[in-house]
Amino acid sequence: MDYYSKQINQLVESLSMLPGIGAKTAQRLAFHILSMPKEDARRLSDSIRDARENVRYCEQCFTLTDDVLCPICKDAKRNHKVIMVVENTRDLAAYEKTGKYDGVYHVLHGAISPMLGIGPGDIRLKELMQRLQKDVDEVIIATNSSLEGETTAMYMSKLIKPTGIKVTRIASGVPVGGDLEYIDEVTLLRALEGRTEL
């Protein structure tokens, strides 16, 4: 790493700290940045700094946003009585992309994982329970279909049910366009259990 000048080395080093960016890729990116128009490099630099300094958690749903409340929580047109609980902001974005969900969200920032030592106190569960003291009709649990996601869903449903609020879980089954031949057995069994009448 001593073959370049100090600032190039520093750039390569900073870039190689990013996930999935090895030494070779960091070098390639660094030389690309050095050949970029100055304003583009400046924009990249600023967007990193601004995002990291200004992005914070929405005070209501805890998604990552620039403001006290995120655009979804601020939106009066959304149904604030239906809360979809997701593990992270990317999962929220995945449902927003469908364009069909008009409720609001709650972002846990993780899932319960005894293996990794993440307990119910380490995710935004307490904050969810506080939100449920207001007028809420339904909590849709949309944690991942992984061991951790299922554990979290189970734990949450036990916690919420005594409040009398309706708790639902998104369906597990064969993905649309999926070929049965290539789907794992657990998913096939889930699809069978969750069958609906036509």
Q: Which residues are at the interface with a second copy (CB under 8 A)?
A: 2-8, 10-11, 13-15, 17-20, 25, 27-34, 36, 38, 40-55, 64-67, 70-71, 88-90, 92-93, 96-97
The one-letter amino acid code at 39 reads E
Least CB distance from residue 195 to a second copy, whole Å? 32
By C-beta, is 124 or 156 nearer to a second copy? 124
Least CB distance from residue 116 to a second copy, whole Å? 15
Query: CB under 8 Å, gap of 24 or more: what pairs does 94-103 form?
Result: 95/142, 96/72, 102/77, 102/78, 103/78, 103/79, 103/138, 103/140
Residue for token pair 């070098």: 27
Least CB distance from residue 77 to a second copy, whole Å? 15
By C-beta, is 95 or 167 nearer to a second copy? 95
By C-beta, is 92 or 125 nearer to a second copy? 92
Least CB distance from residue 95 to a second copy, whole Å? 9
By C-beta, is 33 or 191 nearer to a second copy? 33
Q: Crossing angle of helices 6-15/23-35, nearest 10°? A: 120
3-state class of 66 per DSSP?
Answer: coil
Residue for token pair 């089954």: 173
CA angle at 151 for the pair 168 and 101, rounded to the nearest 5°: 35
